[in-house]
Amino acid sequence: MTDIEEIIQKLVDFRNERDWEQFHNAKDLALAISIEAAELLELFLWKEPDEASQEKIKKELADIFAFALLLANKFGLDVKKIILDKIEENNSKYPAEKAKGTAKKYNELDK
């Protein structure tokens, strides 16, 4: 069992022990990810990037990963594959020679 499979197994066991699968439709899982992402964001509100509490960042990141993994699992997605595939796609959208050192969006790289 890979690390990712092991984590997903524990998340699924936790969910099943509480009979929570009934609530975990894809739309609500997507809502949950957004909500946790905003809780992470709140740690930086009115602050400089390095002023946020690392302890709290850990917890909010963990929550984001948890719901994202549950949603990936719901669709039987291979988490490693979908990320590597997206890096491949981004390789074409953001060729290193054009994208280097600039934060421009892909549709602005030739301007």
**Contacts to its own copies from residues 50-109, by CB under 8 A:** 50, 52, 54, 57-59, 61-66, 68-69, 71-72, 75, 77, 79-80, 82-87, 89-91, 94, 96, 99-101, 103
> Residue 72 carries which DSSP code?
H
Binds its own copies by CB under 8 A, chosen from 23, 56, 93, 106: 23
Helix axes 54-74, 3-17, angle to 10 degrees: 80
Please say whether the beta carbons of 42 and 64 come within 8 A.
no
Size of the site for its own copies (CB under 8 A): 72
Binds its own copies by CB under 8 A, chosen from 35, 56, 93, 106: 35
Three-state DSSP at 5 gives helix
> Residue 2 carries which DSSP code?
-
- Contact call for residue 46 and its own copies (CB under 8 A): yes
Q: How far apart are CA 64 and CA 20, in angstroms?
A: 17
Smallest separation, CB 77 to its own copies (Å): 6
Smallest separation, CB 2 to its own copies (Å): 5
